[in-house]
Structure 1
């Protein structure tokens, strides 16, 4: 069969294009270190790699979520431990006023300290971060509690949740109602004690005794919230490790599927370059001849 110059040229061009495509593919693999860079390289393995990518991405997102929740927990812990300290200081002041005969100057000092501590406690419960109230439940743009009698709980007792794994979410906030045990009686009791210290009556011992009891109950409620926070924090530590392990395992499987055998790739590249060179020499040799009949 006679082959025309144009047919031969087309055949050789196709051969060189195929070899060039193979060289480009191998070169890309060597450059990326991956044996699968395109769906056509291995469709089944590509689907597996995409699934592993989603697993790693989800795990990393959960790790970020856990870190954010733990940062919030650290903030809440600081404020709640300060509340605990405030109740302890109040307890000492109330005992001092109740069990001792204090002069007018000492009574004034106790009253001033109680008023200052009460305001500090109110300020903590109405703390804001990034423009939202921390202890206001889901009503984050409202103060948690009014700062004057009857100290109404203004927001709600709802909790916000953050997803930290495929099948688990955790509470990421604490509320004023939760911390105070569902009532603002603490502040009313302190006000009553202050009034009694300033103007003693026959109810002096009863009023200060009640304030001591309410302060103790409030401290217990605060520390219960701290305990919940600590337990949640430990759970998040374990979930963080699980998420890290999941991402590491997925990455290892990914590497097993997609890691390039450089020795094999180098051999393939050398073979393709040799093939291309031979094809080019043949093409030049033939096309430089006047006719193909000399080679038939």
Structure 2
């Protein structure tokens, strides 16, 4: 009789201890906002959270890569816009310099400005990013990892942007077109100057079209990077939401569980105290 009573008492103590642990766990979950403190709390969810954590680390790296690439791409687009403006100005100067009414002094000033624009164009070829990378690399541009399966360029090769244009006179560079315009305006004979200027204007139009096409291609690269950024952001949001659903505390449900466990423990303690307040003589009656 006494042995059985002791056994039942031990069982009740163990049950109350379990209730106390569950209450403490619920309180910790509410306090920290996390329902999983260790893998044993929910092995399946904990394993998935670990996978999500690794995926989020990858997403962070890809997002950083994309932002860097977008910065470079924007700088490239600005440089291409500058090249476009340079050739539009060269065209204006060539048109003005071809006129028979323009003075020699004025033409010299035009040539000086064209030479300055030519230098500016050549400087664009060797322009670098804030980190020292070539804006227009000599070799093929590095591809930036934007996901586990995708790599994108932020710019184009220098030769693609500045060389290989097909003019009436043959294949040459952007720089050559400005040099030809300078030669045309520097010519004193009016008839010859007009002939050379007309040819230069055709070359300059070719150069403008080339720069326009290159800038359009750069726009495609920028759009690809924007899309990649949106994809990474969407994936990051999805991972965050899934991790939260697995890891975060459902406060309302946990409070209800805490209250229920607390009431159960209080009732058990009161019953246990009442039962064990009896003496041996009470059991022998």
Give the TM-score category using the shorter length.
0.7 to 0.9
Q: CA distance change for structure 1 residues 205 and 226 in 2, over 3 Å: closer, same or farther?
A: same
For the residues of structure 2 that align with 1:277 and 1:266, how far apart are their CA atoms? 16
Task: State how 1:64-213 maps to structure 2 within 5 Å.
Answer: 64-137=64-137, 156-182=138-164, 185-200=173-188, 204-205=193-194, 207-213=196-202
For the residues of structure 1 that align with 2:133 and 2:206, how far apart are their CA atoms? 24
Contact 2:94/2:185 (CA < 8 Å) preserved in 1?
A: no
Unaligned runs of 5+ in 1: 138-155
Is 1:269 the equivalent of 2:258? yes
Question: SS state of the match for residue 146, structure 2?
Answer: strand
Q: TM-score when scaled to structure 2?
A: 0.76
Q: CA distance change for structure 1 residues 135 and 72 in 2, over 3 Å: closer, same or farther?
A: closer
Contact 1:66/1:164 (CA < 8 Å) preserved in 2?
A: yes
Residue number in structure 2 paired with 1:23 = 23
* Aligned length in residues: 275
Unaligned runs of 5+ in 2: 166-171
Across the aligned residues of Structure 1 and Structure 2, the Cα RMSD in angstroms comes to 3.8
Q: Which moved more, 1:279-288 or 1:16-25?
A: 279-288
**Alpha-carbon offset, residue 200 of structure 1:** 3.9
**Alpha-carbon offset, residue 42 of structure 1:** 1.2
Q: Which moved more, 1:10-19 or 1:88-97?
A: 10-19
Q: CA distance change for structure 1 residues 292 and 118 in 2, over 3 Å: closer, same or farther?
A: farther
For the residues of structure 1 that align with 2:111 and 2:280, how far apart are their CA atoms? 115
**Alpha-carbon offset, residue 210 of structure 1:** 4.4
Q: CA distance change for structure 1 residues 230 and 189 in 2, over 3 Å: closer, same or farther?
A: closer
**Alpha-carbon offset, residue 224 of structure 1:** 1.4
For the residues of structure 1 that align with 2:237 and 2:181, how far apart are their CA atoms? 59
Contact 2:29/2:249 (CA < 8 Å) preserved in 1?
A: yes
Structure having the higher helix fraction is: 2
Q: CA distance change for structure 1 residues 170 and 55 in 2, over 3 Å: closer, same or farther?
A: same
Question: SS state of the match for residue 140, structure 2?
Answer: coil
